[in-house]
Structure 1
Amino acid sequence: MKKRLSGFILIWLFLLRLNAFSQDKNFHIYLCFGQSNMEGNARIEPQDTVNVNPRFQVMEAVDCPAINRTKGNWYTATPPLCRCRTGLTPADYFGRELVANLPEKVRVGVINVAVGGCKIELFDKDHYESYTTSVPGWMKNMIKDYDGNPYARLVEMAKLAQKDGVIKGILLHQGESNTNDTLWTKKVKVVYDNLMHDLDLKPKKVPLLAGETVNVDQGGICASMNKIIATLPETIKNAHVISSAGCTDAADNLHFNAAGYRELGKRYATQMLSLLGYKPTATN
């Protein structure tokens, strides 16, 4: 019996070491979530589909047979990076800027789970069900793509990704649907804390990067929310706010245009590079 037990222990230790070796510490993974500006509202332009460095990867969070992608697999991060028919997002040029400035041995992967029009409550794993009962039908259809629970899908994909690499940060762009909600920062903290717990992450090592809504200088109709977003670091110590000042927007003054997404994504990257100890020297 003792020999058999020893054998089981040796096998377990071997498998544990095998798993550790399969995880590449130079594969930096970022979780992205939010509403339409993270989902990607701008039309993808030809310049966005060429010269994508294969070191920049996306894990598909839904099945997309039309573009030959399957949920849970990695692909070169040619847009769309959210669902099958979404547009350009800040995540696109976030990843491009990172790989352009990080050592060649480092790869970058993103997982993007976002739902246009949603409140932050959709990502609260304890209250999302009550929230979704009152959302419009078009939003329910998008939520259905994530089997009715976007937060659970984000965690599911993140756990798969942790077998391949290391989660280095979280990107958030949300707030338009919570404009003037003074409890927003606390609601975001609930989601952030849940991610830390469910993915066994350490808050000191995993920053939250939160982008501003379309700025007042562009006539942003939700620009007042930026005053609340600015206070997020008071609630989450490792949160960093990404300015949208000067990022151009669409005619609705709610969404960024393609140029705006490119600039905003690079700003997310500049902040992350600084936290990693790098200063941007190249732009892709």
Structure 2
Amino acid sequence: MKIAFSTLGVPGMPVAQVVRLAADHRFHGVELRAHATEEPVHTALSATERAAVVRQFEEAGVEVLGVGSYVKVAASGEDEPVLAELRAHVALAADLGAPYVRVFPGAAEATTGADAVAARRLAAVAPYALDREVRILVETHDSHRTAADVQRILGLVGHRAVGALWDVMHTWLGGEQPSASYPTLAPHLGYVQVKDIASAEDRTPLPLGQGVLPLTECVEVLSRDDWDGWLCWEYEKRWFPAVPELPGLLDGARGHLGRLLNESA
């Protein structure tokens, strides 16, 4: 498996710094948060600016794992604004050489109607994504936090350009253990997002291995199936200001994930 970290919780960090940190701490890739007002990488970048981002990653030998969008595919409202935003993020990922775009479900609740809305929108954009060699991944999150929830949407779409992003915290909060989540998501799985927290009530991020999330079990079920994808550590200082700065945590996170992979090999 390859190991990445996410800039989802590090608003405004320059691309050059992100790349340098990834290379210095032996991460294979980075998930880039795409936010128009907080981040240096977003859908309004020109072709020249996108090429400059690609060049920095290539020179460092670090991959762009994915684009973390804030598109909510099951949210109420008209389809076209969602479709336009989704296409724009797919185009950005393609230009950056990133294989994935993360989207949220974002419904008020996980109903059959919300499933159908999400599936309709994803199916509409799937051919566009396929043509650009990008997969749209629905994260286990918010209204559809379990693998079973997300699988209902993906089953309706039935297109290989649409898959799942497994956020281990959310499936665990939804009452699923990795032994149940993984088989459900496996046919659709793009990559796996990991973090650690103090408890279900206190989601303040902790160094990997110091909280309650079943990270060891997650890696074990992936390894037993010879899954050869990405583990991406999600750092969340953006929403938890008391969390230490990213550079001081990278070695510990990289070391813990490396140990989990070795133990399960």
TM-score (norm 1): 0.36
**Greater CA radius of gyration, 1 or 2?**
1
TM-score (norm 2): 0.38
Higher relative contact order structure (alpha carbons within 8 Å, sequence separation ≥ 6): 1
